[in-house]
Amino acid sequence: MYNRAIALAREYGARSDEGRTIGNLGLTYEEWGKYDLAERHFAEALEILREIGNRREEAIVLANLGSLVATHGRYEEGLRYAREAYDIHVEVENLPYAAFVLGTVGACLHHLGRLDEAESALNESLDRLRAHGHERGVAMVSFEVGQLAIAQGRDARPYLATIEVFIASNGLAPDSHAGKQAAILRASIASAGGSGEKS
């Protein structure tokens, strides 16, 4: 399906559609666990979108690329992509996306050991996402804030509760992304003594 759409976009010179579709194919490869192919497609989409000056779509692909590389331990690179995506989202006034990408910035900072900066970015992301009514974003960033809370010796249970409410209200399965995040955070809390707080 995607390859046909890409071919048609090329045939008609619809560069923006071509870049967007290649980026969406990258997301599909990421879902399938084909991370090298996902990264290659994100990079190709980025090249096209930059060439034609589609800043909004460029920021979306940058955010996806940042999230992908950070998931695989390339936190400095993920931070660079996420900050660039954030700046563009603010520039084009795509503020709900900017709020979400700030969560990726915070997660990268956490993994780089910059806990105070991470806490500031993650809390700002949560506040903005709540203001935009972005339930999925709130749940996803709550996972990162919960992990950070454990690292700082604070109670992570309220963040787990936020994810569990999102799962229940949307009828999500345990193997959904949010379900997996809840399971990981629950296990982290248990390993930290039941709340995450240092005694």
CATH of the domain at 103: 1.25.40.10
Q: What is the per-residue pLDDT across 104-154, written as a single tens digit (0 to 9) for each?
A: 999 999 999 999 999 999 999 999 999 999 999 999 999 999 999 999 999
pLDDT confidence tier of residue 196, bands split at 50, 70 and 90: low
Query: Do 191 and 120 lie in a common domain?
Result: no
DSSP per position, the chain: -HHHHHHHHHHTT-HHHHHHHHHHHHHHHHHTT-HHHHHHHHHHHHHHHHHHT-HHHHHHHHHHHHHHHHHTT-HHHHHHHHHHHHHHHHHTT-HHHHHHHHHHHHHHHHHTT-HHHHHHHHHHHHHHHHHTT-HHHHHHHHHHHHHHHHHTT---HHHHHHHHHHHHHHT--TTSHHHHHHHHHHHHHHHTTSSS---
Query: Do 128 and 140 lie in a common domain?
Result: no
Residues 6+ away with beta carbon under 8 Å from 146: 156, 159, 160, 163, 185, 188, 189, 196
Query: Do 10 and 103 lie in a common domain?
Result: yes
pLDDT of residue 16: 73
Query: Do 126 and 88 lie in a common domain?
Result: yes
Query: Do 56 and 128 lie in a common domain?
Result: yes
How many residues are there in the chain? 199
How many whole angstroms separate alpha carbon 50 and alpha carbon 23? 13
Residue 29 corresponds to which tokens in the numbers above? 């490869």
For the chain, percent of residues with pLDDT exceeding 90: 78
pLDDT at 192 over 60: yes
pLDDT at 172 over 70: yes
Query: Do 15 and 27 lie in a common domain?
Result: yes
Domain limits at 165?
A: 136-199
Please identify, among 96, 113, 135, the residue that sits at the C-terminal boundary of a domain. Answer: 135
Query: Do 69 and 116 lie in a common domain?
Result: yes
Query: Do 159 and 128 lie in a common domain?
Result: no
Query: Do 149 and 122 lie in a common domain?
Result: no
CA torsion through residues 11, 47, 55, 131, sign? positive
pLDDT confidence tier of residue 22, bands split at 50, 70 and 90: confident
Query: Do 115 and 195 lie in a common domain?
Result: no
Query: Do 56 and 129 lie in a common domain?
Result: yes
pTM of the model: 0.86
Residue with more model confidence, 166 or 21: 166
Please identify, among 135, 169, 185, the residue that sits at the C-terminal boundary of a domain. Answer: 135
